[in-house]
Amino acid sequence: GVYRIYNVRYSVDARGVVEKIGILGLTTRTTQVRYEDIRSVETEQTLLERALNIGEVEIGTAATGETEIMLKGVSAPMQIQEMIQSERDQRGRMTRERLGNVPKAAQA
């Protein structure tokens, strides 16, 4: 038979959240979501996963209205959720402050 080996890498950095999925390195799929585009960050854990402090973090965007990236089997999902939410909120505040400093005529 043919065995598929999935290699999944998640990264959360200054630009946003990236999910890179590859099958034996022959094909890869990369999904990147900027903090400014994130509309929801949710966690999902079973009872056992809560005890082990692992779980899933689901990241949704307004573009699709659905989960864009799902970080599966990650450690400390609540902390990851809080970190992403905090960065998202901070960037939203910065954007609003920038727009607040633009003259009204330029905003039209």
Residue 2: band (very low, low, confident or very high) from pLDDT cuts 50, 70, 90: low
H-helix or E-strand spanning residue 81:
helix 77-100
Please say if the pLDDT value at position 42 is more than 80. yes
Q: At 25, is the secondary structure helix, strand, or coil?
A: coil
Residue 41: the pLDDT is 94
Compute φ and ψ for 94, nearest 5 degrees: -60, -40
- Burial class of residue 45 (count of CB atoms within 10 Å of its CB; 0-12, 13-18, 19+): middle
pTM of the predicted model, to two decimals? 0.76
Average pLDDT of the residues in 17-37: 86
Please say if the pLDDT value at position 93 is more than 60. yes
Q: At 15, is the secondary structure helix, strand, or coil?
A: coil
Mean pLDDT of the chain: 85
